Structure 1
């Protein structure tokens, strides 16, 4: 047990270092390269509000770093971490190892809302309107799934919840397709398709606070409920025997996760595979203890999406590739590899807990 705890601490500290390093890489690389040394020196001066390092870079570099790349990298970290812990939560309450944050149809609702604004109101409302439309669509989808799938929280049946999410997702996807078909020009279609595949290009300092607070609240709440989540994996009957209020726990998790994903998807579009593969990667190292799993997942998810977005920004400069393409290209084969080595379980390697 002591060896396992020491191993976990080493992994945790290594991931923290890797997160800092990935942030530096994400800020350095883009359509124009900025040396990691200059990025580190400028950020040190800016964060500490002191000129520790004498500037050896051009003044316009500071604007690129602070106004464009840092917000984008931070949004990548927040989104990656949020998708990862939502994946953990969805896999737990559905007891489905291939569940992801979008299993309740949230991304389909967001896509319908965003595409509706793109097709009918982008010229007047602007990009803020797309974000707002996506959020409204996601929340509407979440409310419908919750009301029908759980009977207003009275019956948290896993099968009923998943089937409701699938049906509602199909409906909203059909609405999105109708909207795209009704587009008046190719630019609207291109914008709709690009948004639906995910993008972090709209990141601004003013848009980071709400997703960060949502992520922090859901993470803290999940850690507080981590022992209950561990018991849920043993089955609903076992949870009832120990006196746990299953309906209340699942309702809290579903609602908090839905709000978090709605906010993230509204800002970035649908980004696949992170919420699916990251929890399994972390289970391989820490087993099924949710306190450890959630902590590692938020770090690995942040690192993974930062690096994927860096690739998306640099592979065909100055154009951005939709981030969802990169996560799918990397995530798909990796997920197949995980299945091949039989680590596809809730307890890590060979079901280890």
Structure 2
């Protein structure tokens, strides 16, 4: 596994460098490195290089770093959700969190609410919407003081449809077409609004969540075997599932708030990684965040360059790549979801 981790780390570093330098105004890797070094160390930049420097440091670097964080977070939370609900087809949005976040963002965009928060108003609305759905799913799914996997999935799906309907209704009655197009683009995912100010919170949430989930790796192995087996092995399934629900909801809400609803990453990447390292969650959670980060960096690069100067929603790219990969996994001999047969 060490070779895979090192290889992915190197691939991520190279991908980040190339992605930062690529775009409508391409910058060679060597020059990109020089600009980044100057920004970090306070080095001098000549007057004729100011424009290129600002594009690299102020526009592309925070966007690429956000892609790294979102890709890593979605992949890690996908692993956790699949273990929590014992469903290989689950992804970070199966609990309806993304639909709630989208509805919150739509409401703020159309109504102009939370205006006091300035450029962070839409993200705040999305996060509040995610928390609202998480609370509703938790309250509806509880039965006898516990959370049952099937009830979680069914409640999440129902909430997702419900809040998608709410979002569609808000868009339908939106007073102008520009708000509608902005909302539709945001609901399909995009990193165009990335700023340095958005990175610290997402960095902390993603890092802490990935570390906590990896420390719970052995417990996730047991949880995936079923509640009765888990209890016989000394794992408190209700407490563990409740903690996982809170953690995954917060992480998903934080990522949707800054990037919109990006699908297929949390569904496909865990399965791809299991092909490489097996089904043990400690190993999967060491590799999946790196693999997801690499994938998201390239997906975002494609989103902003394929039809330049226009930009595709990144959710379109991840779906176009994710669907063939997922179908290939379904048809692959010798692979069962959760590991190898």
Q: For the superposition of Structure 1 and Structure 2, which TM-score range results when normalised by the shorter chain? A: over 0.9
Number of matched residues?
Answer: 339
What CA deviation, in whole Å up to 9, does each residue of 1:161-218 have, x standing for no partner? 1111111111111111110110122112111110110010111111101111111111
Of 145, 168, 187, the residue aligned with 2:159 is 168
Q: Tell me whether 1:219 sits opposite 2:210 in the alignment.
A: yes
Contact 1:97–1:344 (CA<8 Å) still a contact in 2? no
Q: Tell me whether 1:140 sits opposite 2:126 in the alignment.
A: no
Which 4+ stretches in 1 moved above 4 angstroms?
A: 53-57, 122-126
Aligned counterpart, 1:4: none
Q: By how many angstroms is 1:334 displaced? A: 1.2
Query: Structure 2: which 5+ runs fail to align?
Result: none
Q: By how many angstroms is 1:43 displaced? A: 2.0
Whole-angstrom distance in 2 between the partners of 1:227 and 1:167: 31
What CA deviation, in whole Å up to 9, does each residue of 1:208-234 have, x standing for no partner? 011111111111111211111111122
Whole-angstrom distance in 2 between the partners of 1:156 and 1:132: 28
Aligned counterpart, 1:265: 256
Q: 1:202 to 1:228 in 2, by over 3 A?
A: same
Aligned counterpart, 1:150: 142
Aligned counterpart, 1:131: 123
Whole-angstrom distance in 2 between the partners of 1:313 and 1:35: 18
Whole-angstrom distance in 1 between the partners of 2:48 and 2:70: 30
Aligned counterpart, 2:33: 40
Whole-angstrom distance in 2 between the partners of 1:178 and 1:79: 28
Query: Structure 1: which 5+ runs fail to align?
Result: 1-7
Which stretch has the larger CA shift, 29-38 or 249-258? Answer: 29-38
Aligned counterpart, 1:9: 2
CA RMSD between the two structures: 1.9
Contact 2:21–2:28 (CA<8 Å) still a contact in 1? yes
Aligned counterpart, 1:30: 23
SS of residue paired to 2:193:
coil
Contact 2:114–2:125 (CA<8 Å) still a contact in 1? no
Whole-angstrom distance in 2 between the partners of 1:219 and 1:111: 24
Q: Tell me whether 1:311 sits opposite 2:302 in the alignment.
A: yes
Q: 1:57 to 1:100 in 2, by over 3 A?
A: farther
SS of residue paired to 2:147:
coil
Q: 1:202 to 1:239 in 2, by over 3 A?
A: same
Contact 1:42–1:55 (CA<8 Å) still a contact in 2? no
Q: By how many angstroms is 1:59 displaced? A: 2.1
Q: 1:261 to 1:123 in 2, by over 3 A?
A: closer
Q: Tell me whether 1:293 sits opposite 2:276 in the alignment.
A: no
Of 203, 208, 217, the residue aligned with 2:194 is 203
Whole-angstrom distance in 2 between the partners of 1:192 and 1:258: 22
Which stretch has the larger CA shift, 124-133 or 242-251? Answer: 124-133
Q: 1:57 to 1:189 in 2, by over 3 A?
A: same
Aligned counterpart, 1:5: none
Q: 1:295 to 1:217 in 2, by over 3 A?
A: same
Give me the TM-score of the superposition, normalised by structure 1: 0.92
Q: Tell me whether 1:59 sits opposite 2:59 in the alignment.
A: no
Whole-angstrom distance in 2 between the partners of 1:309 and 1:93: 29
Whole-angstrom distance in 1 between the partners of 2:34 and 2:76: 32
Whole-angstrom distance in 2 between the partners of 1:46 and 1:185: 40
